[in-house]
Amino acid sequence: MLKKLKSTAKNVLANPQVRAVYNGTNRAVLAVAASNRLTATLYSTVGFATFNREQYAVLRGRSHYYRDINRPQRNNVGLRRNIHRLEKGMVMQPRRDVFALDYLGETIEFLEGALSRRSGAVRVDPNEIAWAKDVLTAYFGMVDLSNPVIAEAKERFENVIGTLDPVEGIDEQPTDRAVTDVVSRSPFLAGQRTEPGVTYDQMLNLATHRRSVRWFEQREVPTELVDKALAVARQSPTACNREPYEFKVFTDPAMAREVAGIPFGTGGYSEQVPAIAVVVGKLENYFSPRDRHAIYVDSSLAAMSFIYGLETLGLSSTIINWPDFEPLEIQMQKALGLDASERVIMLIAFGYADPDGGVPFSQKKSIDSIRSINAKK
């Protein structure tokens, strides 16, 4: 039904006279609507459906944030945010002897809650616990313990840590291998990092080698290679280290083709996509609508790192655009079982490139076209 409607609309707009009238009317309405914020608000009110899904998603995400803050979760967003805030205070120059008083007690509460639920049905991420423990230990080792708020928090921390068994299930992260003489997961000196072992020319070669490949060999993509690429992706920076995304990966060919066939723009090649990742932003990580765009920024940073990771493993990929179009949003939501607070950011089709498949050249803009230096206008 949807394809039929799209086809009908294309046929109607193909008429030059109809298209001219449509374009003229559209430009005139937009010129008035975009003249100031009041007319923009009135326009949005009339066309409320355009942004309604995002508004609903933001509100539902905020609701879930407060609902989940003290519920069993594999990752505690409040703990992650506060521990990273502590880290930033610990590396401040000059560092204060007393800081973080406004959220220190809350941080300990989050840790107490996470540890009290470790033996339940939901398994708390052991890396998160180890990180929180190391950062708090380092924090209490550098602040003024005569401050009553800090002293009380330290006592509570020692009590909860005293009941903590050795943290099992910790995995080695790339960060661990890139830092010398560091055994703690707390802040370290920039000079302690090892050399990355990648030259600029090598990085440029990787970037230019990567191309949007849409034609793939029909062979399975091993899960271990996907996980290796995700190990690169998770090192991407995110606001307050929240990592507000999930990669929903499908390596089963039938499932991958079903998902790849949902978006616009995949007609003609979706049926041969061997694997696909749906990058989903999770608004439940935020308590304020001011952060509603963070999922798009953070997910995109991780997605590009994921793509580069795939490339080094011999896997090619292409980004599949995901416009905010209600019928497709509903279809994807049902197909993936997404909550309304979870927003699809993009899809990434990937696999082993067909050596005989065509690849668009995609000329990039000149450097002068994409940068300005010390220019305010």
Q: Report pLDDT for 46.
A: 76
State whether the Cα torsion 238-242-244-249 is positive or negative. positive
Q: What is the mean pLDDT of each run of 10 residues along the chain (377 residues)?
A: 58 72 84 88 78 92 88 86 97 97 96 72 82 96 97 95 65 57 83 92 97 97 98 96 97 97 94 98 95 97 98 98 94 97 98 97 95 91
Residue 281 β-bridge partners: 245, 343
Q: Report pLDDT for 7.
A: 61
Q: Report pLDDT for 144.
A: 98
Burial of 63 (0-12, 13-18, 19+ CB in 10 A): middle
Residue corresponding to tokens 């995700």: 230
Angle between helices 253-260 and 326-336 (to 10 degrees): 160
- Angle at the Cα of 359 (from 354 to 361), degrees rounded to 5? 155
Alpha helix stretches (DSSP H) within 14-75: 16-33, 37-46, 49-68
Single out the residue of 343, 330, 278, 345 nearest to residue 60, CA to CA: 343
Q: Report pLDDT for 180.
A: 60
Q: Report pLDDT for 310.
A: 98
249 vs 353: CA distance, rounded Å: 18
- Angle at the Cα of 246 (from 136 to 239), degrees rounded to 5? 45
Q: Report pLDDT for 16.
A: 79
Name, in order, each residue with C-beta under 8 angstroms of 59's C-beta and a sequence gap of 6 or more.
none
Q: Report pLDDT for 43.
A: 80
Q: Report pLDDT for 50.
A: 79
Residue 216 β-bridge partners: 353
> pLDDT of 257-278, one tens digit each?
999 999 999 999 999 999 999 9
204 vs 223: CA distance, rounded Å: 27
Residue 236, number of CB atoms within 10 A of its CB: 17
Q: Is the pTM of this model over 0.85?
A: yes
DSSP 366: P
Q: Report pLDDT for 219.
A: 95
CB 289 within 8 A of CB 341: no
CB 261 within 8 A of CB 206: no
Single out the residue of 113, 111, 109, 133 nearest to residue 71, CA to CA: 113
